[in-house]
Amino acid sequence: MKIKVAQSYGSCFGVKRAIKIAEDTKNSYTYGPLIHNNQEITRLDKQYNVKLRTNLSDFKIGDKAIVRTHGIEKNELKELKEKNIEVIDATCPFVTKPQQIVEQMSNHGYDIVIFGDEEHPEIKGVKSYASSNVQTVVVVSIDDLKKFYLKDRVAVIAQTTKRVDQFLKITNYLIRRHKEVRVFNTICNATFDNQSAASDLAIESDVMIVIGGKNSSNTKQLLNICLDHCKDSYLIESENELEYNWFKNKKQCGITAGASTPDWIIEKIINKIKTTYSY
């Protein structure tokens, strides 16, 4: 069985940057998981004493708080600063951008449409930057959009990990119905490059392994793209989840990984496939 990795896969610029910031800071706390990958969070704890905190009230003066890649809500950031906590911002610049756009456009009176998952931390953070004078809606589909009555002037952004084709459907719908639509393409290239490479590889493979956190939105998205082209596509977090049956009578195993997956995890999995399942 041939093993082929996608042209573009794994750790993006924002994740690498956040991990470096955490390693350099040491002895600190991240507010919420730094990235969506539990193994990496455990490694940072063990090797650098960077611990995870999920409760804002646990932070005390003298603590160092690292803001995760997906960002946090505006009022939470304010609260940390007011408590005189040293805040180290590891928010990915591609997430800071939509936060700024939402703040500016809502201040200019545009209703805000966010194409994303309401419960995702990135979206909760981005939404929190909207001024309360305008309507801000979070949608995943045109059906969702139909539930709202929006003003003539609308600004639209997307969650960084969303699919471009779906974003185009939303913008297309808005443009046909509103006098002024300001479209900001906030989908990040890392996601897009990983997605198109995964799609190309899934077309030519008869089994696909997608590596990444099961709570990671972009990893789940990669799995769906792979499943569109290759029915034997599996999402795993570690080499222990690999199953013998997946590789039986297969000619090519394609490998891709989500944007929060560090290289050391990917290497471990590829090695296990090579040594154990590559007949």
Shortest Cβ distance from residue 150 to ligand F3S (Å)? 26
Q: Going by C-beta distance under 8 Å and a sequence separation of 6 or more, which residues neighbour residue 128? A: 73, 74, 75
**Contact map string, positions 42 to 81, toward ligand F3S, x by CB under 6 A:** ---------------------------x------------
49: three-class secondary structure by DSSP: coil
Stretch that binds ligand F3S, among 8-16, 25-33, 102-110, 239-247 (CB under 6 A): 8-16
| Gap between the Cα atoms of 228 and 138, Å rounded | 26
Shorter beta-carbon distance to ligand F3S: residue 48 or 192: 192
How many residues form the binding site for ligand F3S (CB under 6 A)?
A: 14
Half-sphere exposure of 135 (CA within 13 A, CB side): 12
**Contact map string, positions 129 to 168, toward ligand F3S, x by CB under 6 A:** -------------------------------x--------
Stretch that binds ligand F3S, among 11-19, 81-89, 206-214, 267-275 (CB under 6 A): 11-19
Q: Give the tokens for residue 77.
A: 């950031």
| Gap between the Cα atoms of 132 and 128, Å rounded | 9
**CA trace torsion 88, 75, 109, 178 (10° rounding):** 80
| Gap between the Cα atoms of 124 and 118, Å rounded | 7
Shortest Cβ distance from residue 194 to ligand F3S (Å)? 8
Classify strands 64-67 and 86-89 as parallel, antiparallel or unpaired: parallel
Distance from the first to the final alpha carbon of the chain: 6
234: three-class secondary structure by DSSP: strand
Is 201 a residue that touches ligand F3S (CB under 6 A)?
no
Q: Binding residue for ligand F3S (CB under 6 A) from 8, 9, 15, 102?
A: 15
**Cβ-based neighbour number of residue 204 at 10 Å:** 13
Q: Give the CA angle between residues 227, 213, 95 to the nearest 5°.
A: 100
- Active-site position among 40, 76, 122, 237: 122
Footprint (CB under 6 A) of ligand F3S, residues 89-118: 92, 94-95
- Residue pointed to by tokens 């471990």: 268
Footprint (CB under 6 A) of ligand F3S, residues 215-254: 218
Shortest Cβ distance from residue 261 to ligand F3S (Å)? 11
122 among known catalytic residues:
yes
What amino acid positions are annotated as catalytic residues?
122
Which residues sit at the interface with ligand F3S, rule CB under 6 A?
Answer: 12-15, 69, 92, 94-95, 160, 188, 190-191, 218, 259
